[in-house]
Amino acid sequence: MRGTLVFDLDGTLAETAPDIMGTLNVLLEREGLAALPLEKARELVGAGARALIERGFKASGRPLSVEKLDELFAAFLPHYLSRIAEASFLFPGVEAALDRLAARGYTLAICTNKPEPHSLALVEALGVKNRFRAIVGRETFPFFKPDPRVLLETVRASGGEPTRAIMIGDSKTDLDTAKAARIPAIGVSFGYTDVPMAELGPDRLIHHFDALDEAVESLLAA
């Protein structure tokens, strides 16, 4: 085993904003508000469904009570699951990179704050579920990112060792989780973050999955 590569899901492996924003817009329109453009996803998506709803309604000029937020969150999850991959897709180069790295002996895993049923349904629909030794969602363990324990447990569930692991993600949350776990991190520049990944200071930065192999090798060599 050469090492364990742990990927975030939304904004890292897959462009999921169209289906996530589509579900948010269903809720907004039910409440008499206008749909938000897909371009808003970069500043709204990335912190989980509850935060997405709160941010979406705030952007529409309507604050939410805790009770209303709970109601909308309960409606969001089943609707999103029903359309989990209508318009979502893997980023360019993902499948080829996963195949190359697996062929070279790396173990692959996913650690996401997306609910576990939605995570499993998404990777199944995208045709890559069987490539990952472990798929960890928000409620898989009694803690989630940025708690470093979820990353460490993901590595262990994959049969790996934290000293030979790398986190690949698109957000500050991913980097904070990796740093707290003392695991190096590769940031992707095309994900969901309101602060550019280059400014967040990952150990390596890639702009396409074609560059992942070199970034992984250089980190493990170091």
**Model pLDDT, residue 48:** 78
Does residue 70 sit in helix, strand or coil?
helix
**Model pLDDT, residue 194:** 82
Q: Which residues of the chain have pLDDT under 70?
A: 1
In order, the DSSP letters of 114-154 are S-HHHHHHHHHHTT-GGG-SEEE-TTTSS--TTSHHHHHHH
CATH topology of domain 3-15+88-221: Rossmann fold (3.40.50)
Q: Per-residue b/e over 75-88, b at no fewer than 16 CB within 10 Å? A: ebeeebeeebbeeb
**Model pLDDT, residue 216:** 97
Question: pLDDT digit string (tens) for 41-68?
Answer: 877 887 778 889 999 999 999 989 999 9
- Tokens standing for residue 131: 């490539």
CB within 8 Å of 212: residues ≥ 6 apart: 93, 97, 101, 168, 186, 206
Q: Do residues 132 and 164 make contact, with C-beta atoms less than 8 angstroms apart? A: no
Distance between CA atoms of residues 164 and 141, nearest Å: 22
Question: Is 8 tagged catalytic?
Answer: yes
User: Annotated catalytic residue: which of 8, 19, 174, 203?
Assistant: 8
Distance between CA atoms of residues 162 and 181, nearest Å: 8
Domain edges within the chain: 3-15+88-221, 17-82
In CATH, the architecture of 17-82 is: Orthogonal Bundle (1.10)
pTM: 0.94
